[in-house]
Chain A
Amino acid sequence: GQEFRFGPCRVEGVVLQELWEAFWDMKDVVQAQDNVTSVRLLRKEILQNVSEAESCYFIHSLLKFYLNTIFKNYHAKAVKFRILRSFSTLANNFAVIMSKLRPRQENEMFSISENARRRFLLFQGAFKQLDREAALTKAFGEMDILLTWMQKFYQ
């Protein structure tokens, strides 16, 4: 079967097409709320040239942020826009992925994990520069960019 391979981190039991379909069900509603069209949080330079070894650290940081901050604080909007089902599908599948990621902590991996951390901090920095609600809406609406990046590691 197919699985995610973020370098040494393997994740089975998540069907990427189900995540896409959940996002597409709510895409236009969610992205229509984002009127700051001149800012993109998950910019190309953040996502470009992520090495296999780096990918596990990077996706772990991103998913942790999405689960702890974005999904958690976007929930009220999800109720308002009646997209709870898609919201739950994505949140729970991201939780599955994150629970199966085991980024290595050995010293020799320090420089790699630091690269990944710098990338994540670029994203988080852009997030913090926006007004809180606008940032949540934008990040939630950029999950297609995140899924597109994750797709490269789905084999």
Chain B
Amino acid sequence: DGAAVLPAPQNLSVQSTNMKHVLTWSPVMVPEETVYYSVEYQGEYESLYMSHIWIPSSWCSPTAGPECDITDDITATVPYSLRVRATLGSQTSAWSTLKHPFNRNSTILTPPGMEVTKDGFHLVIKLEDLGPQFEFFVAYWRREPGAKEHIKMVRPGGIPMHLETMDPGATYCVKARTFVKAIGRYSAFSQAECVKVQGESLPL
């Protein structure tokens, strides 16, 4: 292939939050030119059994920006090696390889975004839509001494959902966390949010 005149991209790193994985690198600067990049990956199997084999990334072979969403390429909970090279016309840089292989079990799981509202006596929750890999565990309780905490598994996010039918005059509190089956990990709980129900008493 073309002579390796272009400098190889530097400072490769992966930012991964809530199972969305983005590979970034420092752009190769060539005045008044658009440099393209190609990203390739190797799972643990490929690196152990066929180390010469690299697989072109789904979305970034090639790409113009100095980053690549590799979420669709990381489909097992194993270390993945990643590499990038620059291309300008017929010129191609050497490959730059991520220093430490990336494993999706290192993703940062944030407490889920949550809106707690009420409709009459209905306690309603809307959770952040984080995609099909996420399950939500919602804990809710009536704020009173010795109150029992109820847990519900909710899926998917993004849809306002009835959680409980509340008693008049009571205050109910809710918190939620996520669970990702593929990596067997939970997020931290969100801050608890509470709502109070008007005090009308039900007709006898």
Q: Do chains A and B touch in the complex (CB under 8 A)?
A: yes
Determine if A1 and B179 form an interchain contact, defined as CB atoms under 8 angstroms apart: yes
Q: Per-residue 0/1 for B36-70: is the Cβ within 8 Å of any A Cβ (1 yes, 0 no)?
A: 00000001111011100101101000000000000
A18 contact from B50, B56, B182, B183, Cβ within 8 A: B182
Count of A-B contacts judged by CB separation below 8 Å: 66
Chain B min CB distance to A93 (Å): 5
Give complex CA distance A91, B183 in Å: 17
Closest A-B pairs by Cβ, 9 of them: A92-B76, A92-B43, A89-B75, A91-B45, A1-B181, A13-B77, A93-B76, A95-B45, A92-B45
Q: Which stretch, A40-48, A67-75, A115-123, A127-135, touches the partner chain B?
A: A67-75
Number of B residues contacting the other chain (C-beta, 8 Å)?
24
Determine if A88 and B184 form an interchain contact, defined as CB atoms under 8 angstroms apart: no
Give complex CA distance A68, B49 in Å: 8
Classify the interface of chain A: helix, strand, loop or mixed.
helix
Number of A residues contacting the other chain (C-beta, 8 Å)?
23
- Identity of the chain A residue whose Cβ is nearest the Cβ of B41 in the assembled complex: A88
A12, CB-defined interface residue at 8 Å: yes
Chain B min CB distance to A66 (Å): 11
User: Knowing A13-B77, A95-B45 touch, does A88 contact B55 (C-beta < 8 A)?
Assistant: yes
Q: Per-residue 0/1 for A72-110: is the Cβ within 8 Å of any B Cβ (1 yes, 0 no)?
A: 100100000000110011011111100000000000000
